[in-house]
């Protein structure tokens, strides 16, 4: 399997992190994002959205980091990471939705402004980041992991842009439960980091 990847992308990192923790071998194909390689053939043919990551498993191609996490977990049949029972699956999926919405538009967007110069409403991104971080902090006050009392793809989906929040001017000093959760993830066998994490 090939992962078309950008090292500084939190979305690409979600996939690399899960694959490392689950022992899934991926051939990492770095993409020259600044040169627009992802917007030209052959990559634009693989993903017309012109975004990364892209997973190619033989002739099967998948875009979107969360879809890739679900695919990899289901393909390898390890229910520790993605359960098949409806309640467990729902619990994990609600965190994937949080990752794609509140986290992407909060700490993820704040980082885009500060680190990459995107023209977004910075005050709004910080407000959104503080709201979701407070909710996660409260959740983690009574839980070691986001879902099911163990590491799942939910943790792999949520952690990157939470851990990278300081790169968007959103410090984690006031969130001790989040900091302990990140440390627990970093202590898992197979953990890999990325710049800023």
Specify the CATH number for the domain of residue 59: 3.40.30.10
Residue 152 pLDDT: 98
Q: What are phi and psi of 104, to 5 degrees?
A: -60, -40
Spell out, as residue ranges, where the chain has pLDDT lower than 50. none
Same structural domain for residues 62 and 103?
A: no
Q: Which of 20, 41, 75 is at the close of a domain?
A: 75
Same structural domain for residues 124 and 164?
A: yes
- 187's tokens: 């202590």
Domain of 40 in residue numbering reads as 2-75
Q: The domain spanning residue 171 has which CATH number?
A: 1.20.1050.10
Same structural domain for residues 35 and 91?
A: no
CA distance between the termini of the chain: 25
Q: H or E element: which one contains 62?
A: strand 60-63
123's CB contacts (< 8 A; 6+ apart) are none
Same structural domain for residues 52 and 98?
A: no
Q: For strand 60-63 and strand 54-57, is the pairing parallel, antiparallel, or unpaired? A: antiparallel
157 and 66 Cβ atoms separated by less than 8 Å: yes
- 90's tokens: 């729902």
Within the chain, where are the H helices?
10-22, 43-46, 65-75, 86-98, 109-116, 122-140, 153-163, 176-186
Q: Which of 25, 40, 75 is at the close of a domain?
A: 75
163 and 182 Cβ atoms separated by less than 8 Å: yes
Same structural domain for residues 20 and 64?
A: yes
Residue 34 pLDDT: 85
151 and 21 Cβ atoms separated by less than 8 Å: yes
**DSSP-assigned letter for residue 147:** B
Q: Which of 56, 75, 94 is at the close of a domain?
A: 75
- 11's tokens: 């979305």
Total domains in the chain come to 2
């Amino acid at each position: 399997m090939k992962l078309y990847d950008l090292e500084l992308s939190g979305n690409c990192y979600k996939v690399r992190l899960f694959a490392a923790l689950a022992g899934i071998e991926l051939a990492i194909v770095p993409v020259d994002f600044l040169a627009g390689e992802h917007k030209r053939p052959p990559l634009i043919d693989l993903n017309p959205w012109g975004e990364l990551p892209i997973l190619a498993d033989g002739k099967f191609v998948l875009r979107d980091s969360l879809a890739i996490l679900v695919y990899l977990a289901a393909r390898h049949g390890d229910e520790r990471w993605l359960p098949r029972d409806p309640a467990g699956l729902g619990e994990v999926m609600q965190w994937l939705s949080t990752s794609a919405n509140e986290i992407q538009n909060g700490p993820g967007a704040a980082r885009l402004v500060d680190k990459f110069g995107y023209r977004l409403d910075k005050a709004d991104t910080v407000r959104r980041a503080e709201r979701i971080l407070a909710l996660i902090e409260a959740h983690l006050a009574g839980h070691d992991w986001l879902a099911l009392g163990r590491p799942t793809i939910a943790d792999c989906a949520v952690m990157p842009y939470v851990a990278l929040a300081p790169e968007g001017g959103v410090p984690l000093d006031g969130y001790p439960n989040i900091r302990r959760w990140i440390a627990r993830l970093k202590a898992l066998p197979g953990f890999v980091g990325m710049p800023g994490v």
